Structure 1
Amino acid sequence: MKKYIDLSIFYFVLAMISGVFYREFYKFMDFRGDSTLGTLHVHLMVLGVLVFLLVIILAKLFPIEQNKNMKRFMIVYNVGLLMLTATLTTRGIVQVNGIALSAAANGALSGIAGLSHILLAIGWLFLLLILRKTITNDIDDKKD
């Protein structure tokens, strides 16, 4: 259970750092438009902090940690979220600096962002399947 709160704290710290970086970087660059840096803070708060707080609650209510796929969820989801964080940060810095990426670089960055979304979706699927199996087993146990 400690690992979930530690991850929630880790993503909270990243979210706070990203919010300060966004605000100060915009000021420093005298930038007045929109960029993906503006969405990074919220992504980290929801997909990092809140998701792992939810996992803590679920682990208290159901024996999800006993499921062999829980380790897969943790790895896939965290890799996906860190990749998403990296791509949002990179794309935001490029946007604020007004850097024109080549088609290949833009495609690569989009591809990595897409892969991060796929990994997050797979992570969510692992978690949902873990819950389904755990809840179904819990209901079956109570019938007996």
Structure 2
Amino acid sequence: MGEAAGPPPVSGAFLPMALGRRVRDEVEAALRTEGIAVRHLSALGHLAPDPGLSYSELARRTGVTPQSMQATLTALEQRGAVARDTDPGRGRTAELHVTAEGARLRRVGTGVVTAVDERLRTRLDDETYDALTRALAALFRAEEGR
């Protein structure tokens, strides 16, 4: 018999992907109690400080297709979390803004993410956690421009 197979080698690409999946599942489960998902929270987070963004710009910022963003924003409109200041129509820029309900959902979502972040922080000492966060943020920024 051959050698026992050990764990796969550590991968700088695989580890954030695998951990990200676990964290996303945890956040999604908590958001589900409010009837929203990470995609809704992301749209609200980008739209709140910059009302009037186009579907295409919101889609680009969140990494989804314009069609997917349109479906996300339609669901948020139906929920009363986003309001349209213009009539819908082909070729028109939708003047969308976050409502009081959208702001509430955004606060709930931010609280969920903060709680998960605080739980993760307990797994490492502060210096290591802060260094890891800085390194991941730098890598994220570097990959944005590729």
Query: Is the TM value for this pair above 0.5?
Result: no
TM-score with structure 2 length normalisation?
A: 0.30
* Structure in which a larger fraction of residues adopt helix: 1
